[in-house]
């Protein structure tokens, strides 16, 4: 049955876009091939590795026949995939070739505050920023993106985001699919809207500002709903929700089970069987998909079940477009050899030292302030009653300390809460835990009216003068004040 809503949506889309563009999107969906972002491993000298990055503008033919102005890192649209090993010292030069200020933040990395690439490390047009740190954390799928104050949403939307893969010996011993672009695939999922001329459409409505920008066209690694032809019977997908605001609930159209092996911070202790996984903006999950039986499964986004029975909640979710359904991409496994594959159960040993005492407990109340003046000031979102201020340090943390943070969502919409410089554990949440939430995380989805309790061990980089951020990873909320600052001393 075609719902009235679907018809309404189709009518809306057709009303917004010229017929030619609608047809072009439809054509793209059926014929695009899966693009793997180029790998960039820098220049290695012993235990040192050097990366030269250029933040640049460009254009891309995302919709056939249209050139879309974009931003990218070392390429016209999106960033190249960075890759390095645990224990190496990395040296970055980041050159800003844009006519405006930007930053590059290493999302998920434990590192000194001045190397973090947050709002306190802006790169002026034409300038070069140097960042250096040693990788002191396990193999993981991290990412990097613009974190320019009040401009993160628009800059990421146009393409300033890429993957950052860490390898280590422990993960390499596991015999997981790990050949990039052959049986190990990056999957950056984003949704976008386009204007009639093919340019990206950003923040045209009040709803976009309040709920965050959700687009009607799904891109995977910058390509509209592509087809991935695979040769191997077992593949690993490194899923990143790189959207500005949309929460994806991912599953295959044939409901096939898969194994969740990794989370934001790296591999889980044990793989977990799942048929769906919910990823909020900023979150990653690594999954293994058994394709030994062939087939052409489609990874799709299906609306999540309402967590609250309250009527206004589901109304809010409808308003936010949470009930839209999309195909993300399709896998063609008709050519794989039909040999059984080995699926691992035990992966890595946990590095948690449970004997360490808790030094501090903090509460973060996520709030929305209903005040027209705040709307104009771009600070209608707040944490503990305060909107982001560059000159104010909100929290002071001791280096190496174990802390408990309780995140309370006082609003009617979900917020993915991200903390820089750490990989934490979720020790309690009101709702049900997702399979990847048993691993180390740097971003956690907090549902409306929900509380989530985190255990965090802070790394030992001290710098009383340079703060790290914690914030909502719905980029429009971050840009409008749902962000705070902490220093480690």
Interface map 388-417 toward Cu ion (x if CB under 5 A): ---------------------------x--
Closer to Cu ion at the Cβ: 98 or 474?
Answer: 474
Which of 102, 156, 158 has its CA nearest to residue 127? 102
Which of 449, 150, 185 has its CA nearest to residue 299? 185
Helix axes 4-16, 19-31, angle to 10 degrees: 110
Instruction: Report yes or no: 170 and 141 within 8 Å, Cβ to Cβ.
Output: no
- Residue 29 has φ and ψ, to the nearest 5°, of -65, -30
- Count other C-beta atoms under 10 Å from residue 28's C-beta: 20
Residues 443-472 that bind Cu ion (CB under 5 A): 472
Closest approach of Cβ 74 to Cu ion, in Å? 30
Closer to Cu ion at the Cβ: 327 or 430?
Answer: 430
Distance, in Å, from the CA atom of 367 to the CA atom of 380, rounded to the nearest integer, reads 9
Closest approach of Cβ 96 to Cu ion, in Å? 27
The end-to-end CA distance of the chain, in Å, is 60
Closest approach of Cβ 105 to Cu ion, in Å? 17
Distance, in Å, from the CA atom of 192 to the CA atom of 451, rounded to the nearest integer, reads 30
Beta strands in 76-183 (DSSP E): 78-79, 81-85, 89-96, 105-107, 128-134, 140-145, 161-167
Closer to Cu ion at the Cβ: 107 or 415?
Answer: 415
Closer to Cu ion at the Cβ: 278 or 472?
Answer: 472
Residue whose entry in the numeric block shows the structure tokens 């969906």: 29
Which of 269, 238, 111, 237 has its CA nearest to residue 164? 238
The CA-atom distances, in angstroms, between 350 and each of 61, 147, 173, 175, 212 are 44, 31, 16, 19, 35
Q: H/E element holding 416?
A: strand 415-419
Closer to Cu ion at the Cβ: 301 or 415?
Answer: 415
Closer to Cu ion at the Cβ: 111 or 474?
Answer: 474
Closest approach of Cβ 326 to Cu ion, in Å? 21
Q: Three-state SS for 62? A: coil
Closest approach of Cβ 482 to Cu ion, in Å? 5
Closest approach of Cβ 15 to Cu ion, in Å? 29
Burial class (CB in 10 A: 0-12, 13-18, 19+), 353: exposed
Closest approach of Cβ 5 to Cu ion, in Å? 25
Closer to Cu ion at the Cβ: 284 or 415?
Answer: 415
Distance, in Å, from the CA atom of 221 to the CA atom of 216, rounded to the nearest integer, reads 16
Number of residues lying near Cu ion (CB under 5 A):
4
Closest approach of Cβ 348 to Cu ion, in Å? 31
Closer to Cu ion at the Cβ: 100 or 406?
Answer: 406
Closest approach of Cβ 213 to Cu ion, in Å? 12
Interface map 470-489 toward Cu ion (x if CB under 5 A): --x-x--x------------
Closest approach of Cβ 205 to Cu ion, in Å? 17
Closer to Cu ion at the Cβ: 191 or 251?
Answer: 191
Distance, in Å, from the CA atom of 381 to the CA atom of 369, rounded to the nearest integer, reads 6
Closest approach of Cβ 415 to Cu ion, in Å? 3
The CA-atom distances, in angstroms, between 307 and each of 37, 304, 413, 489 are 36, 8, 12, 39
Provide the β-strand partners of residue 26: none
In DSSP notation, 310-331 reads: -HHHHHHHHHTTTT--EEEEEE
Closest approach of Cβ 412 to Cu ion, in Å? 11
Provide the β-strand partners of residue 266: 263
Closer to Cu ion at the Cβ: 272 or 473?
Answer: 473
Closer to Cu ion at the Cβ: 94 or 245?
Answer: 245
Closer to Cu ion at the Cβ: 220 or 474?
Answer: 474
Residue whose entry in the numeric block shows the structure tokens 């609003």: 411
The residues that touch Cu ion, with contacts defined as CB under 5 A, are 415, 472, 474, 477
């Amino acid at each position: 049955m075609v719902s009235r809503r679907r018809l309404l949506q189709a009518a809306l889309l057709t009303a917004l876009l010229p017929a030619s563009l609608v047809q072009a999107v439809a054509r793209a969906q059926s014929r695009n091939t899966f693009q793997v972002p180029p790998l960039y491993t820098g220049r290695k000298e012993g235990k040192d590795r050097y990366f030269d990055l250029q933040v640049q503008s460009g254009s891309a033919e995302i919709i056939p026949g249209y050139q879309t102005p974009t931003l990218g890192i070392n390429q016209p649209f999106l960033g190249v995939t960075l890759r390095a090993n645990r224990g190496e010292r990395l040296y970055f030069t980041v050159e800003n070739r844009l006519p405006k200020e930007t930053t590059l933040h290493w999302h998920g990395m434990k590192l000194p505050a001045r190397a973090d690439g947050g709002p306190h490390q802006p790169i002026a047009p034409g300038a070069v920023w140097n960042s250096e740190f040693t990788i002191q954390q396990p193999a993981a799928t991290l990412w990097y993106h613009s974190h320019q104050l009040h401009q993160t949403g628009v800059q990421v939307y146009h393409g300033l985001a890429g993957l950052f893969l860490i390898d280590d010996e422990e993960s390499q011993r596991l015999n997981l699919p790990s050949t990039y672009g052959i049986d190990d695939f990056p999957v950056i999922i984003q949704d976008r809207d386009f204007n009639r001329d093919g340019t990206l459409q950003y923040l045209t409505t009040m709803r976009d500002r309040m709920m965050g920008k959700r687009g009607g066209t799904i891109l995977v690694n910058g390509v509209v709903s592509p087809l991935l032809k695979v040769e191997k019977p077992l593949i690993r997908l490194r899923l990143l929700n790189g959207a500005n605001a949309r929460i994806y609930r991912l599953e295959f159209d044939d409901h096939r089970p898969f194994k969740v092996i990794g989370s934001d911070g790296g591999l889980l202790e044990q793989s977990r069987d799942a048929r769906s996984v919910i990823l909020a903006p900023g979150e990653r999950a690594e999954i293994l998909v058994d394709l030994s039986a062939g087939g052409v499964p489609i990874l799709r986004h299906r609306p999540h079940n309402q967590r609250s029975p309250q009527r206004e909640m589901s109304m809010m979710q409808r308003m936010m477009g949470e009930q839209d359904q999309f195909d993300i991409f399709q896998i063609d496994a008709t050519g794989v050899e039909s040999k059984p594959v080995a699926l691992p159960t035990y992966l890595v040993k946990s590095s948690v030292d449970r004997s360490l005492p808790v030094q501090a407990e903090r509460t973060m109340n996520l709030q929305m302030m209903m005040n027209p003046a705040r709307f104009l000031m771009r600070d209608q979102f707040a944490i503990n009653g305060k909107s982001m201020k560059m000159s104010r340090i909100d929290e002071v943390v001791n280096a190496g300390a174990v802390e408990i943070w309780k995140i309370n969502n006082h609003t009617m919409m979900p917020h993915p809460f991200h903390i820089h410089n750490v990989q934490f554990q979720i020790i309690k949440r009101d709702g049900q835990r997702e399979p990847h939430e048993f691993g180390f995380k740097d971003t956690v989805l907090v549902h409306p009216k929900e509380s989530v309790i985190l255990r965090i061990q802070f790394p030992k980089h001290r710098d009383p003068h340079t703060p790290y951020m914690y914030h909502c990873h719905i980029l429009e909320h971050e840009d409008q004040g749902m962000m705070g600052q902490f220093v480690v001393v």
